[in-house]
Amino acid sequence: MAGIAHSELLSAACIATLAADALRSEVWLTPKPGLVDSINNGSHCDMDLPLFLRSIDAITPWLYQFYALGQQDFLQPAQSMLMRIRPTGIACEQAMFGATQGVNTHKGGIFSLGLLCTAAGRISAHRQLMTRRGICREVAAMTQGLIERELQSCRQPVTAGERLFVAHGMTGARGEVQSGFLTLRRHVLPYWYQENNPERRSLNALLRLMAYNPDTNLVSRGGLNGLHFVQDYARRLLKKGWQKEDLQEMDRQLIARHLSPGGSADLLAIATVLMAFPP
């Protein structure tokens, strides 16, 4: 019994630590067009790197909680899990807002990583092998019907995501989790090892996300034109081959337009965690 408890503790530590590390690598990664990085604050006047690090410190204990909830409730139907973990998600958001004096540094990241850690907890409690496919499938199962429940039946849109669903049919972070991270599985994970250098690998993954992810952050700041500007720009760079100077220039262009691909930054952290597991 003690042995089982110890190994469970180890895997809980493993996935939650991977998730926190992925958030740290994401924010340090430089240059990231429009996003907060180690050189500048991108298109954000209320955030900087130290604020992100404080936010990650506040979020980290909750990542263990998500994993533990997944383990504890592993016999419950997958579809009931989001309702079970949401109070923890909201408490985690509050801890983040407390650490940042009300600035939204990681709302999207908490949502996606919270679900990922919960999925991992369930898989480990079922004594199944932890794979990328298995984690994505479990996240999709836990969020089945989410778009219908929270977006299609939304009468009075309040959040940016709800407004953009009504205006453009965009499903944002909810759509990505309900599809089991389809954008990642289709456009990012298969290309991960195209680059040998770990830093270029992450920057290339971010560029691929900016090229293909229907990021509601971009639309909420710059409309559909803003989204298309970033997608076309990223696709051109991927086609011609890119150097860091190209990303620095893209950063200047996005800052000039007040555009920030925050959803793609969140998905980069998810990709980093997923790639730690076998396919």
Ligand X SMILES: CC(C)(COP(=O)(O)OP(=O)(O)OC[C@H]1O[C@@H](n2cnc3c(N)ncnc32)[C@H](O)[C@@H]1O)[C@@H](O)C(=O)NCCC(=O)NCCS
Ligand Y SMILES: Nc1ncnc2c1ncn2[C@@H]1O[C@H](COP(=O)(O)OP(=O)(O)OP(=O)(O)O)[C@@H](O)[C@H]1O
Judged by CB under 6 A, does residue 86 bind ligand X?
yes
Stretch that binds ligand X, among 44-52, 89-97, 222-230, 236-244 (CB under 6 A): 89-97
Of ligand X, ligand Y, none, which one does residue 86 interact with (CB within 5 to 8 Å by kind)? ligand X
First to last CA, the chain: 30
Q: Which is nearer to ligand Y, 9 or 90 (CB)?
A: 90
Of positions 160, 224, 255, 276, contacts ligand X by CB under 6 A: 160
Least distance in Å: CB of 239 to ligand Y? 25
Of positions 217, 231, 260, 272, contacts ligand X by CB under 6 A: 217
* Residue given tokens 């007040």 in the structure block: 258
Least distance in Å: CB of 49 to ligand X? 17
Within 8 A by CB and 6+ apart from 115, the residues are 66, 82, 85, 139, 142, 143, 177
Of ligand Y, ligand X, none, which one does residue 179 interact with (CB within 5 to 8 Å by kind)? none
Within 8 A by CB and 6+ apart from 74, the residues are 121, 122, 125, 126
* Residue given tokens 């006047």 in the structure block: 45
Least distance in Å: CB of 91 to ligand Y? 17
Within 8 A by CB and 6+ apart from 237, the residues are 207, 246, 247, 250
Q: Which is nearer to ligand X, 134 or 261 (CB)?
A: 261
Cα(58)–Cα(73) distance, integer angstroms: 24
* Residue given tokens 């709800």 in the structure block: 162
Judged by CB under 6 A, does residue 174 bind ligand X?
yes
Cα(196)–Cα(41) distance, integer angstroms: 28
Tokens of residue 17, six digits = 């630590």
Cα(113)–Cα(33) distance, integer angstroms: 22
Chain residues that interact with ligand Y, rule: CB under 6 A: 26-27, 35-36, 42, 44, 104-109, 160, 217, 221, 260, 262, 265-266
Of positions 263, 268, 271, 273, contacts ligand X by CB under 6 A: 263
Judged by CB under 6 A, does residue 173 bind ligand X?
yes
Return residues touching ligand X (CB under 6 A): 85-86, 89-90, 93, 107-108, 110-112, 114-115, 159-162, 172-174, 176, 213-217, 262-263, 266-267
